[in-house]
Amino acid sequence: MSDPTREAAFDLLTAVLERGRPLEEALTALPQLDQRDRSAAHRLAAAVLRRAGTLDALLEPFLRKEPPLPVRNVLRIGAAGVLILDTPIHAAVGTAVALAKTKGLTPFAGLTNAVLRKLAEAGPAALETLDSPRLDTPPWLWASWGANARAIAIAHQQEAPLDCTLKPGTEPPPNTEYLPTGSVRFPPGTRVADIPGFDQGALWVQDAAAALPAKLLNAQPGERIADLCAAPGGKTGQLVAAGATVTALERDPNRLTRLAENLARWGLHAELIQADATTWTPPEKFDAILLDAPCSATGTIRRHPDVPHLKRAGDIKTLIQAQDRLLAAAAAMLKPGGRLIYAVCSLQPEEGAARVANAPNLCPDPFTAKELAMVPEARTAEGYLRTHPALWPERGGMDGFFAARLIKT
Ligand code: SAM
């Protein structure tokens, strides 16, 4: 009675939790699987990753000793079905037992059955008593988010909606929500392939918050603009669509290929260069630069619930060194008076305001209230952009982004 969805979800959890692989990478490595089963497996694994702390706390009273990790993952899948995903109890328990057998864990089939049956009885009441936002968040992340920690952690428990940026001239597809920032929003669980116009390049997937940094660069037709960390290219697309002459740099050749394919699908053109932005020298300085720097990606946890399981507090130190190197390189590529938007999809203060406050040869130029009128709650006292998943709760939130405008001195 096991099924391909649960088997694939188990494989995804093994890749992330045992081998430390990113969920997206694990998804691409899955064996041949029907598209619907693949999506369902992704959603199931994501639900377990999102709520692993809570699921483990609920399983705890029924485990006399620590089970091997593969058995714990079977139990987590079963428990998620019983307590979070409203799967009928007999189906959640039966498929978990079958999954244990399929995955070579037959000696634990009885334990799986007994634990999940007890959980189905006692779990719903126990769930009410737990501080699940805290359980589902690593302490170092909770501590780093300050007063917003609880609201952010609560937002992380839900699957995010799917946002798209429309190519200029494209009408919003029917039955979509048109957001104040100009993005269109589809309900959580929408499959990209089902969005009208996606294959024809009329729009591309980009969270509402992720669309803000390129908008805030305010690219003008004919300006020479560099997008220094460009793939997969959502922001490059916005800059080209605004009429700028764009040079898109990307260090990773595979990601550059993806960027090229995306631009081709959207019918947009940019100069594409495979290079490390910290060592590349442009033939001529730029009017403006977008630096969407590599970061911890903690602003995208709703979409990438593997991030809290894979990132460690110590990773931030390495990332901020790279961000500083990129900022210095970007400053050297700008004309005097030229503008730079520095952006990261991170909720960590060290990767945001702390990076730009004293960046050499660059002076912060605050965003005005008018420039951020479409999302005023995201404007900080210093005039930076700071979004997080608990903003717009009634609309389904937005990713966590930091962005600042800097002027070359
Ligand atoms: N701007 C992209 C978009 O909107 O689709 C997302 C960029 S992602 C946050 C960061 C990208 O920077 C990754 O594709 C990574 O390979 C690339 N990257 C990291 N370090 C780089 C460097 N030193 N030079 C050029 N690209 C780099």
Each residue of 361-403: pLDDT tens digit?
999 999 999 999 999 999 999 999 999 999 999 999 999 999 9
Length of the chain: 409
Q: What pLDDT band is residue 1 in, cutting at 50, 70 and 90?
A: low
pTM: 0.95
Q: Which SS3 state, helix, strand or coil, does residue 159 take?
A: coil
Is the Cβ atom of 230 under 6 angstroms away from ligand 1? yes
Confidence band of 34 (pLDDT split at 50, 70, 90): confident
CB atoms closer than 10 angstroms to residue 191: 13
- Catalytic-residue membership of 164: no
Closest among 71, 91, 67 to 81, alpha carbons compared = 91
Query: Tell me, what's the pLDDT at 191?
Result: 87
Could you tell me which residues come within 8 angstroms of residue 272 by beta carbon, excluding any fewer than 6 positions away? 230, 248, 250, 256, 259, 260, 263
Those residues whose C-beta lies under 8 Å from the C-beta of residue 303, and which sit 6 or more positions away, are 160, 207, 399
Ligand 1 atom closest to the Cα of residue 278 is: 23
- CB of 136 closer than 6 angstroms to any ligand 1 atom: no
d(CA 252, ligand 1 centre) in Å? 8
Task: Evaluate whether 237 touches 268 at the Cβ level (below 8 Å).
Answer: yes
Centre a 10 Å sphere on the Cβ of residue 198 and count the other Cβ atoms it contains. 17
Ligand 1 mutation pick, 207, 250, 346, 351, max ligand atoms within 8 A of CB: 250
pLDDT at residue 193, rounded to an integer: 84
- pLDDT per position as a tens digit, 146-172: 999 999 999 999 999 999 999 999 988
Residue 337 CA, distance from chain mean position: 33
pLDDT at 173: 86
Q: Closest Cα partner for 127 from 51, 28, 236, 40?
A: 51
* Ligand 1 pocket mutation pick from 207, 229, 252, 274 by most atoms within 8 angstroms of CB: 229
Tell me how many degrees the CA angle 366-393-12 measures, rounded to the nearest 5. Answer: 100
**Ligand 1 centre from 248 Cα, in Å?**
10
3-state secondary structure of 408: strand
Our answer on whether the CB atom of 233 is closer than 6 Å to any ligand 1 atom is: yes
The answer, yes or no, to whether any atom of ligand 1 lies below 6 A from the CB of 380, is no
Q: Does ligand 1 come within 6 angstroms of the Cβ of 232?
A: yes
Q: Is the CB of 352 under 6 A from ligand 1?
A: no
Identify the weakest region by mean pLDDT among 72-81, 172-181, 262-271, 289-298. Answer: 172-181
Do residues 185 and 205 lie in contact, with contact meaning Cβ atoms separated by under 8 Å?
Answer: no
Q: pLDDT by residue (tens digit) across 236-254? A: 999 999 999 999 999 999 9
CATH architecture of 164-408: 3-Layer(aba) Sandwich (3.40)
Cβ-based neighbours of 344, under 8 Å, separated by 6 or more: 292, 293, 295, 299, 323, 351, 352, 355, 401, 402
Q: Ligand 1 mean position to 41 CA, how many Å? A: 28
Ligand 1 proximity of 212 Cβ (cutoff 6 Å):
no
* Closest ligand 1 atom, residue 297 Cα: 9
- Residue 36: which pLDDT band, with cuts at 50, 70 and 90? confident
* Distance from C-alpha of 198 to C-alpha of 338, rounded to nearest angstrom: 35
Find the 342 Cα to ligand 1 centroid distance in Å: 12
Say how many Å lie between the first and final Cα of the chain, rounded: 67
Measured by CA distance, the residue closest to atom 17 of ligand 1 is: 229
Where along the chain do its domains lie? 4-135, 164-408
- Residues 157-214 have pLDDT tens digits of 999 999 999 999 998 888 889 999 999 999 998 988 889 899 999 999 999 999 999 9
Best CATH choice for the domain 4-135 from the list 1.10.940.10, 3.20.20.70, 1.20.1050.10, 2.40.420.20: 1.10.940.10
Do 121 and 58 form a contact (C-beta atoms < 8 A)? Answer: no
Does ligand 1 come within 6 angstroms of the Cβ of 304? no
Tokens standing for residue 255: 């990601």
The catalytic residue among 229, 295, 345, 363 is 345
- Cα gap 179→74, rounded to integer Å: 39
Cβ pair 361, 192 in contact under 8 A: no
Give the per-residue pLDDT at 356: 97
